[in-house]
Amino acid sequence: MRIPIRMIGIATTFFWIFLIAFFITAVYSAKDLQFDFGDPKMGLTADNKVLFSLPITIVNKGYYNIGAFNITTEISDEEGFTITRGSTFVRVINKNDVVTINHNMTIDLNDLLQKGQNYLFNDTELKIYEAVGMRIAEVIPVQASTNLSLPWGAPLYNFVLGEIEYVAHNYTHLRVVVPISFENHAFFDLVGSIQIRMFNSTNVLVGEGQTNIEAIHNSLYNGYVELYVAITGMTETGHFEVSFLTPFFNYGPMVINYG
């Protein structure tokens, strides 16, 4: 019986040494894992969605491969509504290897605006849930996650129509100049057009006009829209219907009363 006992002892010792050495070196390897986050890029997809691309460089200087590397980003509003979710997966990062991945996310601003116009006109805070998961030495699953908040800048912050100016164009028509102003707090440059339709007090369309806008981000935009309106259709009160057409989103008509 001594020999089997001794064999068990030898096998146990061997496995213990192997296990401890493996575990210690695997944990130590995690220290030699580097993540470099590049500058985020923004673009537009073929279906007019905003595309965020974050380049991530992973340098694995450890003793073992990294398996099932996964990065997930979830952006939601203050009420918990998920705006977008992006996930990037790398099956294996070999030891002594450098891997660069692009973590992409798309945001459909039209979908966002369907939930409320708040995002267009008011700055707010977005919640970001970020999770990075991997298998150290392709065996030990590790996940790190955090919650962040991201300020959302409204592209049409403080949008107002100014004092309307009426100028005689000819005997039958007036030239109506509607000043518009807003601040583009968004992270993107706003390029597109604003269309204004003017209705009198009896809801009859009396004139319409549009102007192209080009508001770089974090800047104040001042412009105007010209409308040619028949004098006979004019009333002291009425309303405008304002529509926005941009590559990122289409919004409108938004009703603003005048008079």
**Under the rule (CB under 8 A), what is the footprint of another protein?**
1-2, 4-5, 8-9, 11-12, 15-16, 19-20, 23-25, 27-28, 30-31, 139-147
**Shortest Cβ 25–another protein spacing (Å):** 7
When the beta carbons of 102 and 145 are compared against another protein, the nearer one is 145
Select from 201, 182, 166, 203 the least CA-distant residue to 251: 182
Nearer to another protein, 87 or 235 (CB): 87
Measure the CA–CA gap between 230 and 23, rounded to whole angstroms. Answer: 84
CB of 135 to another protein, least distance (A): 9
Under 8 Å CB-to-CB from 37, ≥6 apart: which residues? Answer: 54, 55, 56
- Shortest reach from residue 220's CB to another protein, in Å: 35
Which helix (H) or strand (E) is 73 found in, with range?
strand 66-76
Distances (CA, A) of 226 to 11, 44, 160: 90, 31, 16
Alpha carbon distance 46, 76 (integer Å): 24
Nearer to another protein, 8 or 220 (CB): 8
State in angstroms the smallest separation of the CB of 136 from another protein: 9
Q: How far is the CB of 5 from another protein (least distance, A)?
A: 5
- Closer Cβ to another protein, 28 or 37, answer by number: 28
